[in-house]
Amino acid sequence: MKFKKNVKELGNLEVKSYSAKKILLKKEKQGQVLVSVSNTVDTITLTHIRSFNTTDGPSRTISITGIDMFDDLRIVMADNRRFNNQLFIMNHEGRFIKTIRLEDQCFDVAVIEKNTVAITLVKKKKIVFIDVNSSTEQRSIYTRYRCYGIYYTGEQLVVTLDNLTIQFVDLSGNTLSILSIGKRSLYCSMFNNKLYYTTQGGAVSCVYSIDLNEVVGGVKSSAAFADLEDRAKDTSVLIGNLITEKQNNRESLGVQKNKIISEVQNIRAGINNHLLKLEKDLLDKLDNMEKKQNEHIESFIQKLSEMRRKVENISVDLEKTKQHVSNFQAFLGIHEWNKIIEIEEKDCMFLQTDQIMNHRDIHITC
């Protein structure tokens, strides 16, 4: 029969994929600690110790906006006047020692150690460490926003930023914690676990104080900490849903395979032995295709399971932190947990856009 010679296969097998339904993770908070309205400092008693002129140096047109003192009583001052771009070094009696040229206007300065200071370059949006002996820049920390006041606690930097926050940063540039104060602050300082900062509205300047013990004491019950817990749980639930979806997809492939087998058998019943060989070839191809697709799905399920394990570990760590870690350590750790959760969230969202996430069906064309 001509039909016998012309028929080469019973049908063409192909895998059709379509994008799975995506679930977005909405992030409203980024691990910032929002503080209540701070107390204003209404009474400040100042004691005059010494005064001197700063006009003995090479420039008489200067604008001092920042000052600090070394342990050996040397005084370092930031000259913020446009085009001056310099630091002044004087002794405690006001005698000029040297000038250090800078790349841009400097707003504030903080002594770090014996011969090192940290300065804020507002327009450059960075903190620069300067060796005052050699007058050279050691390294920089970029702040993303304009930075103004700076203070060194002996362990970390406290910096006021143009995005209405005060950030605690270690000397390597890692952000430890963020306080959102709702106003732009130009200066900050700390004493006895109290943070002092200034704000200015029009012609009115105010000094505020925050007891960091109170802020730290409530960090475990704060919205930021709760947000981390919620995001960890939400991410775990999302991964679980994705795993369930892929498991259902895997099961549906078997159902589709059985349906195709039935169709092939019905066709085979009406043709001769020549088509039996074609049927065998087709079924072998179907088995291989199902196996390959199942391998893809199983690989993806393993990736999702590993991601869920990481997120669940984060949830466990957060719970342990709530139960065992000190308030201050939890306060300092919020930013790092936020970054870890954000990485898992991004990985989860990235996998949803990967082609391997597409739903897979097996079809036959006769």
- pLDDT above 70: percentage of residues in the chain: 81
Residue at 300 is within a domain: yes
pLDDT surpassing 80 at residue 329 = no
Residue at 250 is within a domain: yes
CATH number for the domain harbouring residue 148: 2.130.10.10
Pair (289, 330) in one structural domain: yes
Pair (15, 55) in one structural domain: no
Number of domains in the chain: 2
Pair (19, 45) in one structural domain: no
Pair (18, 72) in one structural domain: no
Pair (22, 146) in one structural domain: no
In the 3-class helix/strand/coil scheme, how is the chain assigned residue by residue?
Answer: CHHHHHCCCCCEEEEEEECCCCCCCCCCCCCCEECCCCEECCCCCCCCCCCCCCCCCCCCCCCEEEEEECCCCCEEEEECCCCCCEEEEECCCCCEEEEEECCCCCCCEEEEECCEEEEEECCCCEEEEEECCCCEEEEEEECCCCEEEEEECCCCEEEEECCCEEEEECCCCCEEEEEECCCCEEEEEEECCEEEEEEEECCEEEEEEEEHHHHHHCHHHCHHHHHHHHHHHHHHHHHHHHHHHHHHHHHHHHHHHHHHHHHHHHHHHCCCHHHHHHHHHHHHHHHHHHHHHHHHHHHHHHHHHHHHHHHHHHHHHHHHHHHHCCHHHHHHHHHHHHHHHHHHHHHHHHHHHCHHHCEEEEEEEC
For the segment 332-363, what is each residue's pLDDT rounded down to a tens digit?
Answer: 777 777 888 888 788 777 777 766 667 778 78
For the segment 291-308, what is each residue's pLDDT rounded down to a tens digit?
Answer: 888 888 888 788 888 888
Pair (108, 233) in one structural domain: no
pLDDT surpassing 70 at residue 64 = yes
Residue at 259 is within a domain: yes
For the segment 106-125, what is each residue's pLDDT rounded down to a tens digit?
Answer: 999 999 998 999 999 999 99
Residue at 252 is within a domain: yes
Residue at 217 is within a domain: no
Structural domain of 331 = 2-29+223-365
Please compute the mean of the pLDDT values over residues 122-139 and round it to a whole number.
94
pLDDT at residue 106 in the model: 94
Pair (55, 126) in one structural domain: yes
